[in-house]
Amino acid sequence: MRQINFSLIFGFGLAMVFFTLENTAATTVHLLPGLQYTLPLAALLLLAAGLGATSAWFFAAWSGMLNNVEQFSREGELESQQVRIKDLENDLNRYRATVQTQLGLLPSASSSDANSETNTEHVDVQTS
């Protein structure tokens, strides 16, 4: 991979050198009314490319910083969600324990079902 990167950089640099040697004609640039500069075409294009590369680098750095800030805020949200989940799990366990305790205090359902079945059979026997 390093050889590919080196060959790309070398090729781009060589192309820029040949471009600069071939384009030495003077060109006038009007920046504002009354403000003009005359430079070789290659120098102007290299200057424009440098400004564009610098702008792209600043944009990438700014985007990276914004992504880091967003990631830190997500981590804080995730931590607060984890704390909330633990609280809810504790509440659920406490409610389960309360329900189990209350069910233990009630008369058993199987003995009340057996009593109701014997009463029903007894009533049926009397009506027959």
Task: Give the tens place of pLDDT for each residue, 48-85.
Answer: 889 999 999 999 999 999 999 888 888 878 888 899 99
pLDDT computed for residue 109 by the predictor: 53
pLDDT in tens, 86-127: 999 999 999 999 998 888 877 765 555 555 555 555 544 444
pTM of the model: 0.48
Neighbouring residues of 46: CB distance < 8 A, sequence distance ≥ 6 = 16, 20
> Is residue 128 pLDDT above 50, yes or no?
no
The pLDDT of residue 42 is 85
Q: Average pLDDT, whole number, for the chain?
A: 83
Residue 24 · residue 41 · CB < 8 Å: yes
Domain boundaries, the chain: 2-105
Angstrom distance (rounded) from CA 30 to CA 27? 10
> Which pLDDT score, from 0 to 100, does residue 127 have?
47
The DSSP code for 23 is -
Q: What angle do CA 59, 60, 62 make, to 5 degrees?
A: 65
